[in-house]
Every structure is written in C-alpha cells, then in structure tokens.
Structure 1
Amino acid sequence: MTTTEVPTDVAAFAGYVRERMTPHLGEFAQAGAGAAGAERDDHIAAVEELREGHEEQVACMRRLQRVLYDAGIAWPSGPTHLGGLGLTSIHDTVVDEVLDDMGFPSREALFVGLNIVAPALVHHAPAQVREPVVTGLYRGELIGCQLFSEPGAGSDLAGVSTRAVRDGDDWVLHGQKVWTSMGHLADVGEALVRTDPAAPKHAGLTMFLVDMHAPGVTVRPIRQMTGGAAFNEVFLDGVRVPDSHRIGGVGEGWKVASTSLGNERSTMSGAAGPLTPYVLERVVELVKRLGAEENPILRPQIARTVAAVTAMRAAAGLTPGSWTHRLEPVSGSVLKMLMTRALDEIARLAEDVLGERAFVDHGEKDAFAWSEFVLGVPALHLAGGTDEIQRNVIAQRGLGLPRR
C-alpha cells in the first residue's frame, strides 16, 4: 500500500495500524518485555523509568521501532521523503493509542529523539545530517537526548553558559548539562550552547548535534526519589563537534530550541493520551474497591479529577486548525498545562483514598502500587518547561499580555 492509499480518517487509520501490527503481537509477547496482550500488573507510574538490567527492555523498544518503520507507520506526521506519511500529529497519537491498547511495550527510551530532536533536525539541520540521523532515530538505530538545562539555567534556559569555540572546521564544547532524560542511553544529543558571550543572551546561542560517544562526553545518572534514574548529568570537556553538525545558523540556537520546546510540550500531552484515561479508570476502580465513592469528602475530588481528564482529552483531540489564531502558536503549552493538572488530580485522589498505604507497605493489595505515580507527577510540572514558564508563554505569545 502506498502513502496515497493510507486512510486519513482517524478511525480508519486506527484500524489500519491495528491491521499492520497484529502479525507482530506474538513476536513481542515472546520477547518478554511488556508482553503484548498480557494483563497489566498493579504497578502505576507517571513516567516509565528504566531499572537495573534494562538492556533487553531497550533492545525491545528498538526492535519495535524498526517494525513500525518497516510497516510505514513509525512517523505519520513526518515528511514522506524521510519515511513519514505526511499526515498530522493526531495520527501520531493514534499509533501510540493503538499500540498501547494492543499491549505492545512502550518506547519510552526513544521519546526524546523521536518527538523533540527529530523535528528540530527536519526544520533546521543540513541535509547531510538531517537525513541519516532522522532516519536512524525513526528506525530505532539511534537514541536521542536533549542537552538544554544546566545547573544555573533551568527555567531561564537562555542563560546557558556551556560554551563552544570555533577551531578550524570544528567547534570545541565545554560545560555541564543536567536533567538530561535518557542521556545514559543516547547516541546523539541536541546541545544548546553559547557561541557569542558578548551578544544578548538569546542571540548568542547556537545548536549542535553531539555524538554522545565522543571523547570528552561523560554521563552520570541522577537517582530520583521514585527509585529510577531516567535523568542524567552530562559533562562536555573539550568535545569536538564538526561545523557540519551545527543545527541552524550561528546565533540561531534559540530559534531551533523553540522548535524543540514546542514539540516537547505538545507531544508530552499526546504521550499522556493513552496513559491518562487508563490511570483514571484505575483510580476509579480503587475508589470503588475501597467503598469510598459515597464519601462526601472525596466526591468533590472525584468530580475534579474526571473534569480535568475530560478537558485534557477534549483539547488534545482538537486538530491543528481548530485552535484560535492567537492560541495556535502556544497550543503545546496549553496542552501541557492541562495534562499536568489532570495527572495532578488523579494523584491527589489516589493519595486521599489510600492515605499512608500509598507509601507504607502493610502487605495489602494497593500498598506501593501508586507510590511511584504520586511521587513522579510533580516532575512533570518541570519537564518541558515549568508551569510558570508555560503561563508566561500563553500570556505573552497567546494573549498578547505585557511582560511585568
């Protein structure tokens, strides 16, 4: 079937994805990583985190990505000359939802490369870098990471101090990055660095594609309170990057970063599409199992939770042209805020219902089942830009309000 024969109707496309992936169910069930079609366990997490001995899990994600690529559905919204279908981001979400419903393993380790790094490369990188790297990411051959935040530049991202100095045909990078998701698994990294210290902070930045296996790159996982270590510190000590691996023009790093950040915010909410109604269903089951549905103290929280999830799903279901002209550029920030609010309300309800059982093991069925979710949700208020940053983006760029 050619791309012109792929159905564009969302429901028909979902059926097409299911048809293409059904022959592979047995393959991934036998792999033993996220056994396809298997009943889910009681464990619930806001963000899936790879644990010790995760090599087979990551290998399974890579294999699944290659299967999707060969089936022609790895990147529905991508350009056709890079293996995409030229459809919309809604079709990307459909693939995720169908795979989740069928029981295929997640592709969490590939998220940053597929949804944040690849779009920036498509829009800004030279062809000799764009085509092999984007194809490698979508074939599962490469894992990407984002080298943005620094110890002294988190919310104020334009304040990065990692520097790059030109040396012939190369640039030499020195500095430290932090909170780098999946950096310990990455093959390539999108690095925002300062190339002109004398220029205004937004104007002195340039973006590079860094080989994460190059000499001078050191990655140290950061252990979190959830027990996982998905985030990392990355040290760049004299790392040489060819000028051919510059993404965009010198001094245009902020423009490239804006492309990445916009995709990060919208895809985070899209990635939560399958998760949020599933977790809502689980928390409602919990409420009923513990006989708390008639509790007058809990009922308002139950209503707030359902309303928040419904609002997020409704907004996420809007097509790109459905947003008003003013809000279209900030739709990613709006969706990200709605997503974190929905997950917040679910976590609050689970914590209210369980009390100390969310964190203290009494040997009961629900002990610890929700702990990683409740502990992990606050991180989503920081990932992809803090809530405060999102509100500023919406106010200034979407509503035209003045800076204070």
Structure 2
Amino acid sequence: MPSNENVPSLSPDAFRDEAERFLRSIAGEFAGAAGGAGQDPPSDRIAAVEELGEGYDQQFKRARELQARLFDAGLAWPSGPSDLGGRGLSREHDQVLDDLLAELDLPSREVLFVGLRIVAPAVDAHGGPELRKRTLPALHRADLIGCQLFSEPGAGSDLAGVTTRAVRDGDDWILTGQKVWTSIAHLADVGEALVRTDPGTSRHGGLTMFLVDMHAPGVTVRPIRQMTGGVAFNEVFLDGVRVPDAHRIGAVGDGWRVAGTSLGSERNFMIGDDGPVSPYVLERLTAMVGRLDTAADPVLRQEIARAVAAIVAMRASADLPDGSWGHRLEPVSGSVLKMLMTRAVDGIAALAGEALGERAFTDRGERDTFAWSEFVLGAPALHIAGGTDEIQLNIIAQRGLGLPRPPKPATQPAAT
C-alpha cells in the first residue's frame, strides 16, 4: 500500500514532542557541522541550489549519518508504511519533522534530496512489492543514494523527446544512451532512468522508467563544473547497461506518468522550507538589508517590496488546502507554485545584487556580502530545474486554462 494511504495513529503535536526530544538528544553529535539549517555555516555561504564544492565529502558523510540515525529511530519517513521503515502516519507528520530539522542545529540533508524527494516517491507509488521492499528502506536510511536520469543533450525541456533506448532481452533490458545535468550521479548508487522502449508509438506512450544500478558495467559518469564552482551536475553514459525487468518502475509504456510523480514531488520540495526560499535564506536577507541600512533608498524599497510580495504569494498559495484551486487549476497547481517560487528567488537575487553592488562579487571579508554571489549565480538554474518556465507556462495555459496549443510554424516550400 502506498504510504499516502496510511492512517495516522499519533497526533502531530505528540509526534513533534517525541521527535524534538530525540533530535535534541543527538544534536551534540553534530555540533559545528557545516550546513546546519539553524546556524551560520563557517563558509558564510548562501545558495539557491545546493552545490557540492570543496569539502562536500564531509557534508555528504554527515548528512548520511544523520539520516541513518533518523531512520533507526523511526523518524526518517513518518508517513511510510511500518513494514518499510516508516511509522504509518500522515504527510502532515512528515512536515512536522521537516520543520523541526529546519529549526535545529543539525546538518543539512539537501544532498540527499534526489533520492528522498524524487526517486523514492516514484518507487513508492509505482514500483512492485519486491522493488519497494528492496529499495525504499535503503533510500530512506541513506544506505542507497539516488539520482535522476531524465534530461538528455537533445531532450531537456522537451522531456518526452528522450532517445535513450531500452531493448528487452529475456528477463532483462539493455539500456543505451546519454543523460546530462544529473545531480550527484557521481555519488549515487541507483538512478531513476526515463528511457524509450517503443519508438514506434506516441512520444509519451513509448516511455518506461527503470531503476539503474549506477555501479553496473557500462555506466560512465563525468562531472560537470558549474560557474559557481560546484560539481553537483554530471553527464552519464549508458553503454549496453543490463537492467533486470524486476527493476522496472511501473508498467511498460507508463514512464511518463511515473516521471510526473517524481517531478511533482520535486516541485513540492522546491517550495518548502528546505527549498531555495528557506527560512534561513530569508533570515540572512533580512540581516543583510538591516546591516547595510539600505531600506531608506527608494529604489531598493521597491526591490524589497517585490521580493516580499513574491515570497508571500508563494507561501500563501502553497498553504492552500487541496481543492482550493478549482477544477481547472488543481491539476496544474504544482506548475503554478513552481513559477511563484522562481519569481521569489529572482526577487531575492535582484535585491541582493542591488543592495550590495560589486560587494556581492568581490570578497572583502564582510559578512552578508560576497556570500550572496553563489545565490545570485545559482538562481537561473531554478528556471530549469523541475521543468523550465516555458514548459510550466504551457502546462498552465493548455491543461489548466484550456487554451489552444500554438500553431506550428509553417513549413517553407522547397527551393526550385
């Protein structure tokens, strides 16, 4: 049974008390760990997108240690079924845990988010019983690290255009192709791969999802360094990689629907307290504006107002209960929230740039100055991650508002 069908047997308040007691009891083990949400990291860094730069191996190690402690205490996956390491509670209990972790001085788990927030939900919702049993506890304990093998050099925004092939060979499938912009692939044990199993049918109908062993023969990972200096992204080559049919997620030809589960979960994460517009980022933004005494500048006051309005709009929309969007927009609410999130991030980045000027990009050792360069440089990536702005706007227009698709460009007659 998928975890979202579990019935809560413990009130959120009682669960919070239990979780807080445990988290405070282990906080001393992680004291001073870089990246804790409730502290200022030693590097003074502020990021819109989690980057794996210098020292990421220690950050990654601490995140895995914390996740294992949470799992062993029954706190890693409150809404998960008890036979898979969960508690059989509700998604509200998941949020209670996330809120607590954001408040306390503990290592950030953001480096684990692909496995926890993208891969695991797809396996939980669409995987067979054996795949769920073998994979979900390991992902939620961080014994397995997951990555997302979706985008390709010729199919980024147009995800339905993927050309990586999977050909059936008995009880296995043989995968061949290339993926790109794969976060933490160089650290991952498994990858959720969207591939084409039937090139003769519709673009969406010929796709199937598999869980690939990233250590299998034929898998090659090459890191891509970003302009921020981080090495979170990779290109992945699949050269005749053999994947058991038992590792298929969902039915053959149902890969598009499985991908929708992963992408929807990713967008929900991006607007949450662990996302780019986190309470920590807002706290640092407020501190920066106050320290520089720039609020009296009329131009900056407008930037501040725009940033605050965008954040309030995103938060208010995210807090709407199910069914509040109306029958048209309810199915595309995730796309609306993703667009509101990118506007909020743009507002914060613009405000930081306007308030700091060159100090945002020249390191003079001043607090809340150069630290913002990583946020400003990383902000454009959020217009791509989780589906580009253009794709989200098309989804809202066509599926939500019922607007027609734009006409295809007229073909030019052949020259005579």
Shorter-chain TM-score above 0.5: yes
Tell me how far apart the structure 1 counterparts of residues 77 and 399 of structure 2 sit (CA, whole Å): 29
| Counterpart residue number, 1:312 | 314
Matches of 1:138 and 1:85, distance apart in 2: 12
Distance in 2 between the 1:314 and 1:119 partners?
A: 25
Flag the 1:265–1:72 CA change in 2: closer, same or farther, 3 A: same
What is the aligned counterpart of 2:239 among 226, 237, 240?
237
Contact map agreement 1:33 1:57 (CA 8 A) in 2? yes
- 1:39-118 equivalent positions in 2, closer than 5 A: 39-41=40-42, 42-118=44-120
Post-superposition CA distance 1:322-369 (Å, at most 9, x none):
443333322222221121111110110000001111112345444421
Matches within 5 A, 1:346-361: 346-361=348-363
Q: CA 1:118/1:363 → structure 2, altered by over 3 Å: closer, same or farther?
A: closer
Q: Unaligned stretches of 5+ in structure 2?
A: 1-6, 407-416
Q: Give the TM-score normalised by structure 1.
A: 0.92
Deviates more, 1:150-159 or 1:119-128: 119-128
Q: In 2 relative to 1, CA 147–364 (structure 1 residues): closer, same or farther, beyond 3 Å?
A: same
Letter paired with 1:111: F
| Closer/same/farther in 2, CA of residues 50 and 121 from structure 1, 3 Å limit | same
1:82 shift after superposition: 2.5
Secondary structure of 2:240's counterpart equals strand
The aligned residue for residue 6 of structure 1 is 10
Paired with 1:156 and 1:21, the residues of 2 have a C-alpha distance of 42
For residues 209 and 345 of structure 1, the distance between their equivalents in structure 2, rounded to whole angstroms, comes to 37
Give the corresponding residue for 1:188: 190
* CA distance 1:247–1:5, shift in 2 (3 Å): closer
Report the equivalent of 2:137. 135
Structure 1 counterpart of 2:288, one-letter code: L
* 8 Å contact kept, 2:364–2:370: no
Whole-Å separation in 2 of the counterparts to 1:131 and 1:23? 30
Looking at structure 1, the residues matched to 280 and 63 of structure 2 have their Cα atoms a distance apart, in angstroms, of 21
SS at the partner of 1:326? helix
Q: Is the 8 A contact 1:25 1:36 kept in 2?
A: no
Superposed CA deviations along residues 198-229 of structure 1, whole A, max 9, x for unmatched, are 11111111111100000000111110001101
Residues 277, 345 of structure 2: 8 Å contact kept: no
Query: Deviations for 1:376-404, whole angstroms, at most 9, x for unmatched residues?
Result: 01101100100111112222222333322
Which range is displaced more, 14-23 or 384-393? 14-23
Q: CA 1:38–1:402 in 2, change beyond 3 Å: closer, same or farther? A: closer
Q: How does 1:142-153 map to 2 (within 5 A)?
A: 142-153=144-155
Question: Quick one: structure 1 residues 344 and 325, their matched pair in 2 at CA, closer, same or farther if it must change by over 3 Å?
Answer: same
Q: What is the 5 A alignment of 1:350-389?
A: 350-389=352-391
The CA distance in 1 between the partners of 2:201 and 2:363, in whole Å, is 55
The correspondence for 1:260, drawn from 259, 262, 276, is 262
Aligned residues: 399
Aligned partners of 2:273, 2:286: CA distance in 1, in Å?
A: 21
CA–CA distance in structure 2, aligned partners of residues 130 and 70 of structure 1: 18
Give the share of equivalent positions with the same residue, in percent: 67
Counterpart amino acid of residue 107 in structure 1: R
1:168 pairs with one of 153, 167, 170? 170
Q: Once structures 1 and 2 are overlaid, which stretch shifts more, 155-164 or 309-318?
A: 309-318
- Indicate whether 1:154 and 2:152 are aligned: no
Q: What is the Cα deviation at residue 275 of structure 1?
A: 4.5
Q: Are the equivalent residues in 2 in contact too, given 1:269–1:339 (CA < 8 A)?
A: yes
Structure 1, gaps ≥5 residues long: none
Name the CA distance, whole Å, in 2 between partners of 1:36 and 1:96.
11
Query: 1:86: how far off?
Result: 4.2
**Matching residue of 2:412:** none
Aligned to 2:282: 280
Task: Work out the CA distance in 1 between the residues paired with 2:67 and 2:367.
Answer: 35
- Structure 1 counterpart of 2:127: 125
CA RMSD of aligned residues (A): 2.1
State the distance in 2 between where 1:277 and 1:310 align: 12
Letter in 1 for 2:185: G
* AA aligned opposite 1:172: I
TM-score (norm 2): 0.90
| Counterpart selection for 1:294 from 288, 293, 296 | 296
Residues 97/70 of structure 1: CA separation in 2 closer, same or farther (3 Å cut): same
Residue 38 of structure 1: how far off its partner (Å):
4.9
Tell me what 2:225 maps to: 223
